[in-house]
Structure 1
Amino acid sequence: MTTYAVHEIDVPRTMTDDPAVVQAFREWVAVQNAAEVAVTGLPELLWSPEEQLPYLLDPEGPSRLFVARSSTGTVVAAGAYDSKQAPGTPNCWISISVAPDHQRNGIGTLVADHLEDLARAAGRTQWKTYAPSRQVGPASGHGYRPAPTGFGAVPEDEAAVRFLTGRGWRFGQVNRISRLSLPADRSVVQTLHERASTAAGPGYRLHAWTGRTPTAWQEGIALLETRMSTDAPEGDMEEPEDVWTLERLREHEELRERSPRTMVTVAVEHVESTTLAGFTQLAVPDAVGQPVMQGDTLVLREHRGHRLGWLLKVAGIERIEQDHPGHPSIITFNAEENRPMLDVNEAVGFVGVGSEGIWERRV
């Protein structure tokens, strides 16, 4: 009879670390990727081990990784536990992936029990997880679990929905996954850029750079990263403020440079105050056949209403096509209730290709 056990694995510092450590990490990524693509059918969303590693080494809260192995030594599940290390931190993030050909054997329950025990032992009272879904676009009616935000839904029959509901997790929000085929329609992008620039007026100015943030803008980016935890749509799952210091930003960017992806940042300055009012970041793979991933995007609440989100979006597309031509697409994730950002996505040509359910458990 096959049995299973959960083991914590070391996170390599680099991909040239101890071969056994690197191999275990590669197996962890392989299971995670296989489980995700089995649900979404979107292999272009997957990140390689080399691409993922820098994001798991955040000194503010390095990831803890776990695998479930069968009695024959096969890795059949991957789990992750993330939480900030600051005293009094109430929240954590848990993820569980089971290899498609080993599901419905109690392995997910085994890993979930282990990770949730860690959260309890650490005194974490707000747990969150992200579950990929096959759902494309809004849905409602019989057979769907609506988000309490009133925007978006996921199919009731999905394994993750049944699993999380059975363990007492609460469905909170839907992220839409959208794709823009490149090259984009240049006339559309140019027209939207002109309209956004007119709406913003002379009180705002665009800036863009590749790689590390220039010294002049580091305080602004640190503030924007901090406000990502308070200004981005979260439904009723609000999290504590996640403060980014200059030191944290520099350490994060140093780690990110190890990835085979180049970070392109577009930011908009409020001219009168000489501070940044918004930004967007795009991770550009070294492999030209892979899609560009649009990451953190935010306009500060006090600067909304000037079409700065539109301006950042189209300026980012123009920057990618000018400096990094040849990639097949740009992929972005947005909360279904974030209609202002979905409006600009749809106007420029993004099309929904999938969803992600965000779940919470309060203890």
Structure 2
Amino acid sequence: MEIVEFDPFTAAEKDLREIFDVASAAHAVDLPDLPPVTFEAVIGGLRTPQPNLAPARRWFARRDGRIVALASLFLPPAENSALSLVKLLVHPDVRRHGVGTAVFHRISPALRDEGRTVVEAWNVRKGSPGERFGSALGFRVVCSTLFQVLSLDGLGPVPDVPPAKGYRLRSWSRSAPDDLVDSYASARQAIADSPFGQSAFRFPDWNARRVRADEEDRRRTNIEQRIVAAVHEESGVVAGFTELNLPAHHQDVAFQGDTAVLAEHRGHGLGYCLKTSMLRWLRAEHPGHQQVYTSTASANAHMAGINHRLGFRDFQETLVLAQDVAFCDTSRA
């Protein structure tokens, strides 16, 4: 079996088509209740990793002349520079034949090369073969996450929920207004209150400069970011916000990002107000989008409950698995 590092921007069309076949077949088996993935979504995702998780390195495994597995290492910067995230897809036809294990051992040296001390696998479905595979490699469960989906097709009217007295809504796309950017950066810090178990991931330390860099990353990767914020009228500060991302390679799917309210402004229904406003905007300006995906820590019952009120349904519980790089067995690499 040949395991090759590749660049999704320069890879041969034949290889990209075989990579898509792996991703599509794995998706159909692992997520049968979700719509099939498209070539544009799979390859677009390889070329545009989440800004706060980039850069990424990619490998494929070829056996008997056909690509049968795909591996990605995400290398987040700054406060997460000791952490790497691994994503491994194996074609269902060759699972339980040692392919995934061989790929993981082949790419493990890159963890040390990149100076990483912890490796985590996110979005591993609870009770799945992926969980058992990770356990066999020495990974441990450090967090549980609830994934939810909202189907916009056939959804009734989204309620128009005004903000509580003393607050007003501001919204923007792609770039925060200059008069709010500092306050918005401070509000983004509130997401650090979200329970994330024992994962080594640390939420970004936001400031205005980092907000502008993140916005530039999204423009560069063609991801439209939409923000709705609640502004406290007396102080003029951003008291809370919600975020929606619309990648160009997903023409009918939106991804609900962070939602947070500063501790001193909680208890006024701002989270529900912000999310209803965002959904009303999405339906008005992007009627072709059919679904919204979101996730929250399983321990965050409050946010999951808000999503239920909006019509989201739970579709899977996933795990974060972690392993110390020092204990990754590379003897078979």
Q: What is the TM-score normalised by the length of structure 1?
A: 0.76
Distance 1:321 1:85, change over 3 A: closer
Q: Which residue of 2 aligns with 1:201?
A: 165
Q: Which residue of 2 aligns with 1:139?
A: none
Q: How many equivalent residue pairs?
A: 321
Q: Which residue of 1 aligns with 2:129?
A: 159
Following the alignment from structure 1 to structure 2, what is the Cα–Cα distance between the partners of residues 26 and 247?
39
Following the alignment from structure 2 to structure 1, what is the Cα–Cα distance between the partners of residues 53 and 222?
22
Q: Which residue, out of 171, 185, 189, partners 2:156?
A: 185
Distance 1:81 1:275, change over 3 A: same
Residue 336 in 1 paired to residue 301 in 2?
Answer: no
The alpha-carbon deviation at position 264 of structure 1 amounts to 2.0
Q: Which residue of 1 aligns with 2:330?
A: none
Most deviating of 312-321 and 329-338: 329-338
Most deviating of 37-46 and 350-359: 37-46
Q: Which residue of 2 aligns with 1:36?
A: 27
Q: Which residue of 2 aligns with 1:50?
A: 44
The alpha-carbon deviation at position 98 of structure 1 amounts to 0.8
Q: Which residue of 1 aligns with 2:254?
A: 292
Distance 1:257 1:240, change over 3 A: closer
The alpha-carbon deviation at position 227 of structure 1 amounts to 5.1
**8 A Cα contact 1:50 1:260, kept in partner:** no
Q: Which residue, out of 126, 131, 135, partners 2:118?
A: 126
Local SS of the residue matching 2:241: strand
Following the alignment from structure 2 to structure 1, what is the Cα–Cα distance between the partners of residues 24 and 45?
13
Following the alignment from structure 2 to structure 1, what is the Cα–Cα distance between the partners of residues 236 and 230?
10
Local SS of the residue matching 1:340: helix
**8 A Cα contact 1:284 1:291, kept in partner:** yes
Following the alignment from structure 1 to structure 2, what is the Cα–Cα distance between the partners of residues 26 and 180?
30
Q: Which runs of 5+ in 1 are unaligned?
A: 13-17, 134-153
Residue 80 in 1 paired to residue 72 in 2?
Answer: yes
Whichever residue aligns with residue 205 of structure 2, its letter is: V
The alpha-carbon deviation at position 93 of structure 1 amounts to 1.0
Q: Which runs of 5+ in 2 are unaligned?
A: 327-333
**8 A Cα contact 2:85 2:120, kept in partner:** yes
Q: Which residue of 2 aligns with 1:282?
A: 244
Distance 1:242 1:163, change over 3 A: same
Whichever residue aligns with residue 240 of structure 2, its letter is: G
Whichever residue aligns with residue 69 of structure 1, its letter is: R
Distance 1:302 1:90, change over 3 A: farther
- What is the root-mean-square deviation of aligned Cα atoms in Å? 3.1
Q: Which residue of 1 aligns with 2:5?
A: 8
Following the alignment from structure 1 to structure 2, what is the Cα–Cα distance between the partners of residues 129 and 288?
23
**8 A Cα contact 1:262 1:285, kept in partner:** yes
Distance 1:303 1:129, change over 3 A: farther
Distance 1:306 1:108, change over 3 A: same
CA displacement, residues 61-82 of structure 1 (integer Å, 9 cap, x when unaligned)? 411111112252x221111112
Local SS of the residue matching 1:296: strand
Distance 1:90 1:38, change over 3 A: same
Local SS of the residue matching 2:252: coil
**8 A Cα contact 1:173 1:357, kept in partner:** yes
Q: Which residue, out of 175, 178, 199, partners 1:212?
A: 175
**8 A Cα contact 2:190 2:261, kept in partner:** no
The alpha-carbon deviation at position 10 of structure 1 amounts to 2.0
CA displacement, residues 152-173 of structure 1 (integer Å, 9 cap, x when unaligned)? xx22xx2111111111111122
Whichever residue aligns with residue 36 of structure 1, its letter is: H
Following the alignment from structure 1 to structure 2, what is the Cα–Cα distance between the partners of residues 285 and 87?
25
**8 A Cα contact 1:169 1:359, kept in partner:** yes
Whichever residue aligns with residue 71 of structure 2, its letter is: G
